[in-house]
Amino acid sequence: MKVFYNVTVIIDDSIIEDWKSWMIDTHIPAVMSSGAFESYQLTKVITEGSEGGTTFAIQYLAPSMKEYDRYQMEHAPKLQAEHQQKYNGKFGAFRTLMEVISNGQ
């Protein structure tokens, strides 16, 4: 069973460009180097609804729950702490785990 690990982040507008660069150049490559995920996509939410920030979603595709669980145990705490330290007070985040039913391929 493949799973999507979705991280939704609302970023203070004053740091968007810095955050996007750090995510693309540093954070996402670190997540992917864990070996737990097959692919990812970084998206910007374009529907209105976030007040005081811009919303992004990062979706990581894990080949199995076992790989996702390994990531959570071995890598997530350190990587989440780095994000928290770098952008403390400038973001809000929530995480969702989704089972892939059909991917259209």
The burial of 6, by beta-carbon neighbours within 10 Å (0-12 exposed, 13-18 middle, 19 or more buried), is given as middle
Is there a domain that residue 66 lies in?
Answer: yes
Please state, for a pLDDT cut of 90, what percent of the chain lies above it: 90
Is there a domain that residue 103 lies in?
Answer: no
Is there a domain that residue 87 lies in?
Answer: yes
102 falls in which pLDDT band (50, 70, 90)? confident
Domain containing 89 equals 3-93
Answer whether 0.85 is exceeded by the pTM.
Answer: yes
Is there a domain that residue 101 lies in?
Answer: no
For 68-101, give one letter per residue: b (16+ CB within 10 A) or e. bebbeeebbeebeeebeeebeebbeeeeeeeeee
| pLDDT at res. 47 | 86
How many helices (H) does the chain have, and how many strands (E)? 4, 4
How many domains are there within the chain?
1
User: What CATH number is given to the structural domain containing 9?
Assistant: 3.30.70.100
Question: Coil, strand or helix: which one is 1?
Answer: coil
Of 50, 51, 54, 46, the residue nearest 15 (C-alpha): 54
Distance CA 28, CA 21 (A): 10
Is there a domain that residue 16 lies in?
Answer: yes
Is there a domain that residue 15 lies in?
Answer: yes
| pLDDT at res. 50 | 58
Containing 4, the helix (H) or strand (E) segment is strand 3-11
